[in-house]
Amino acid sequence: MNVLFVSLGCDKNLVDSERMLGILKDKGYEFTDEAEDADVIVVNSCCFIGDAKEESINTILELGAYRIDPGERCKALIVTGCLAQRYADEIRSEIPEVDAVIGTTAYDSIAEVLEKVLGGEYVRDIKDIDRVIEPKTDRIITTGGYYSYLKIAEGCDKHCTYCIIPGLRGHYRSVPTGELVKEARMLVSNGVKELILVAQEITLYGSDLYGEKRLPDLLRELCAIEGLEWIRLLYCYPEEITDELIQVIKDEPKVCHYLDMPIQHASDDVLKRMGRKTDSRAIRAVIEKLRREIPDIAIRTTLISGFPGESLKDHEILKDFVREIGFERLGVFEYSPEEGTPAAGMEGQIDDDIKASRRGEIMELQQQLAYEKAKSMTGRRMDVLIEGRLVEEDVYTGRTYMDAPDVDGMVFVKSDRELLSGDIVSVYITGADNYDLIGELDDEPA
């Protein structure tokens, strides 16, 4: 039978999707990218913010048409992931074309659920959100084969006032180091050259299992894997970044000088209402230390505009902070009130048009800063991981250590010789175009 699998939301969700694909492959299922060719459709959903929830619902409704149309071959529509975890009963009552819902900690039952659905049952598989799933199958990598995400922990204990993740994913649960190294070796043996470490927060890795933060130790073990070229770190909370972690990033050649450090705001009043465990002085201090110890580090952050009670003064503080720090990479979300979170009930909710305006101001400022930083790269030689080719423009596309896939910029590379996706080559940077770089293949080492 052919399965169409649609994965929405974050990279952590994508890892779950790849595990489910592996389980179904082991059971003999095949896969398709076309809804009209699918016997089974699975939507791994997201509902982290309002826009993500809307995208998930619209996707389910759109694909549900193939389930209820007697002229189509689809025999089962299954919804998994965060939307299923949070709104299992509502999905059953409001979207009758859905045949099963599977929660965030039950995805390993995908094959059994599908068999029951094909036998005529409706299935609601929602398990304890603190359940630990032990991977029992190979993943099917959907990222192109040369990079992959390694999810090192599940859940979160931070309880920021705007966030629903603890209620959907449970308490923080690290994956044992031995299992991660085994999975990483499997990924590298299948051609992966870049591992991207993800969790809701990776800097706390190991604190629940070993009584102390063990991310530096994990990195050292991963760096010993032959054939692995790059390791990238996403989602490091500033208050958890230790001197030991900084030293490992500095000393281990395979660890990219790149850090995704979501700070959300720079006004201490707003940070306090967000329930964050840090303040602007501490954030500034850790950034200064990172740049002092690793001068070429690329720091990415995310911000929230229009949080309840955010005054014009708070907004200006944030803009001044962005201007002062000069983040290499930055994204901004408009605050989304999520039911069941403390922030949704706070006074001082801000109009959507003001949120959008404030977000726009920050992004316009960041675009100027990013372009200046990109221009300053002209004349440098940099290693670039090739990802594809634009035939009509006769250029290759790739990423430097400063760019995570899908969220950051890229490099457009001119080359007289054929390059393959996954190649890491030296490129001479000749210019910049907004967030992106332009260069040509260089035979000298980067």
Summarised one tens digit per residue, pLDDT across range 366-379 is 999 999 999 999 99
Q: How confident is the model at residue 48 (pLDDT cuts 50, 70, 90)?
A: confident
Residue with tokens 């071959």: 73
From 162, 155, 75, 111, select the one nearest 349 (Cα to Cα): 162
What is the spatial order of strands in the sheet that 76-81 belongs to? 30-31, 2-7, 40-45, 76-81, 100-102, 123-125
3-state secondary structure of 118: helix
Q: List, as one string, the DSSP characters of 207-252.
A: HHHHSS--HHHHHHHHHTSTT--EEEE----GGG--HHHHHHHHH-
Picking from 133-137, 264-268, 436-440, which range would have the lowest pLDDT averaged per residue?
A: 133-137
Whether the CB-CB separation of 172 and 155 falls below 8 Å is answered with yes
CA 217 from chain center: how many Å?
23
Question: Which structural domains are found in the chain, ordered by start?
Answer: 2-125 (3.40.50.12160), 147-375 (3.80.30.20), 381-441 (2.40.50.140)
> β-strands 76-81, 100-102: how paired?
parallel
Please tell me the distance from the alpha carbon of residue 423 to that of residue 229, in angstroms, as a whole number. 11
- E-strand ranges in 57-208 read 76-81, 100-102, 123-125, 147-151, 153-154, 173-174, 194-198
| Mean pLDDT along residues 250-264 | 97
From 276, 295, 258, 293, select the one nearest 383 (Cα to Cα): 258
Please tell me the distance from the alpha carbon of residue 21 to that of residue 110, in angstroms, as a whole number. 9
pLDDT, tens only, 32-42: 999 999 999 99
Residue 435: what pLDDT?
Answer: 85
Q: How confident is the model at residue 69 (pLDDT cuts 50, 70, 90)?
A: confident
From 142, 194, 188, 151, select the one nearest 386 (Cα to Cα): 194
* Reduced DSSP (H G I as helix, E B as strand, rest coil) percent helix, strand, coil of the chain, to 5: 40, 20, 40
CB-neighbour burial class of residue 186 (10 A; exposed 0-12, middle 13-18, buried 19+)? middle
From 86, 118, 82, select the one nearest 100 (Cα to Cα): 118
From 270, 261, 408, 407, select the one nearest 335 (Cα to Cα): 270
Residue 444: what pLDDT?
Answer: 55
pLDDT, tens only, 109-145: 999 999 999 999 999 999 999 999 887 778 899 988 8
> β-strands 40-45, 100-102: how paired?
unpaired
| Residue 254 scores a pLDDT above 60 | yes
Q: How confident is the model at residue 445 (pLDDT cuts 50, 70, 90)?
A: very low
Per cent of the chain over pLDDT 90 is: 89
| Mean pLDDT along residues 76-103 | 94
| Mean pLDDT along residues 301-321 | 97
Tell me the angle at which helices 312-325 and 352-375 cross, rounded to the nearest 10 degrees: 10
At 341, the amino acid letter reads: T
| Residue 26 scores a pLDDT above 90 | yes
| Residue 71 scores a pLDDT above 90 | no
CB-neighbour burial class of residue 217 (10 A; exposed 0-12, middle 13-18, buried 19+)? middle
State both tokens at 159.
Answer: 């309880």
What average pLDDT does the structure give for the chain? 94
pLDDT, tens only, 325-375: 999 999 999 999 999 899 999 999 999 999 999 999 999 999 999 999 999
